[in-house]
Amino acid sequence: MSFVPVITIDGPSASGKGTVAQRVAAALGFHYLDSGALYRLTALAAERRGLRWRDELEVAQLAGDLDVVFDGAAVLLEGDNVTEAIRSETVGIGASIVAALPAVRSALLARQHAFAEVPGLVADGRDMGSVVFPDARLKVFLTASAEARAERRCKQLSAAGEQPDLAAITADLESRDERDRSRAVAPLQQWPDALLLDTTNMGIDEAVEQVLRWWKDVLSA
Ligand code: CDP
Ligand code: CDP
């Protein structure tokens, strides 16, 4: 695994990780791992089985056995297209609850490592640079103010035909971020060897260009 170049992009909810990581992966012809989708899939699968999100052993077993197919932008769970279902705010909250369980995180580790294939990987999440790919050649911590992130999430939901409430979205983001930051295992934090990219006042193009510049620097070092 270590000879495959990996770029990690970690950060809080709605900071732009997924958008930037996918654009960087496309520019470099690399594979892309949306690790948050695995926690979302675990939460959704648990809900569908009638399990409680905090039932560590049962949920971990489910996470290890997940029947998932990533087919381009589509995600299939046991053959069912759940691309939209895993994006709901409720599933996001469930994801952050199951993600705090150590056995669930261990159960998903091998599945994440399997994404590191030639010619390279861009992985986004919370612990990509700290736990899953500690040897990554480039580690980025992407962030933005809570206000900017809540507004982005609202815009995203409006574009999907929903009528989001800014105050409720802000509260959800803050409580999820707090759970992600304060958990004992693989908490969300800027790792010492990660480069900080604050996109509060930065568009997507500029953020992608910055990551690609850093990657060029890594290659020429
Ligand atoms: O993956 P993550 O939750 O960190 O964020 P995302 O889903 O990539 O981005 C959330 C929304 O913010 C998307 O609609 C992006 O287009 C938007 N965004 C933005 O407006 N400006 C940025 N610099 C980054 C993302
Ligand atoms: O799109 P957004 O940034 O809101 O969330 P996501 O990346 O889809 O992740 C959903 C939840 O999964 C997060 O709130 C984290 O609790 C958890 N997660 C994690 O613990 N570790 C990761 N590497 C990725 C996600």
Q: What is the ipTM of this complex?
A: 0.97
- How many angstroms is it from 102 CA to the middle of ligand 1? 28
Closest residue CA from atom 6 of ligand 1: 16
| 3-state DSSP assignment of residue 123 | strand
Total of domains in the chain:
1
Q: β-strands 31-34, 138-143: how paired?
A: unpaired
Residues 25-68 pLDDT 10s: 999 999 999 999 999 999 999 999 999 999 999 999 999 999 99
Q: β-strands 31-34, 6-10: how paired?
A: unpaired
Residue 204 domain flag: yes
Pocket test for ligand 1, best of 8, 15, 19, 155 (most atoms within 8 A of CB): 19
Neighbours of 186 (CB within 10 A): 18
Cβ–ligand 1 contact at 130 (below 6 Å): no
Residue 221 domain flag: no
Domain that holds residue 43: 6-215
Q: Are 16 and 203 in contact (CB under 8 A)?
A: no
- How many angstroms is it from 188 CA to the middle of ligand 2? 9
Residue 220 domain flag: no
Pocket test for ligand 2, best of 84, 93, 126 (most atoms within 8 A of CB): 126
Q: Which ligand is nearest to the CA of 189?
A: 2
Q: If we measure between CA atoms, which residue out of 9, 36, 55, 1 comes closest to residue 215?
A: 9
pLDDT at 2: 58
pLDDT at 73: 85
- How many angstroms is it from 15 CA to the middle of ligand 1? 6
Cβ–ligand 1 contact at 23 (below 6 Å): no
Q: Are 12 and 199 in contact (CB under 8 A)?
A: no
- How many angstroms is it from 73 CA to the middle of ligand 2? 17
* Matching residue, tokens 């381009």: 72
Residue 166 domain flag: yes
- How many angstroms is it from 131 CA to the middle of ligand 1? 24
pLDDT at 182: 93
Q: Looking at residue 94, which CATH number applies to its domain?
A: 3.40.50.300
Q: Would the annotation count 35 as a binding residue?
A: no
Amino acid of residue 104: V
Atom of ligand 1 nearest to the CA of 155: 14
Cβ–ligand 1 contact at 210 (below 6 Å): no
pLDDT at 86: 96
Q: Which ligand is nearest to the CA of 89?
A: 2
pLDDT at 54: 96
Residues of the chain with pLDDT under 70: 1-2
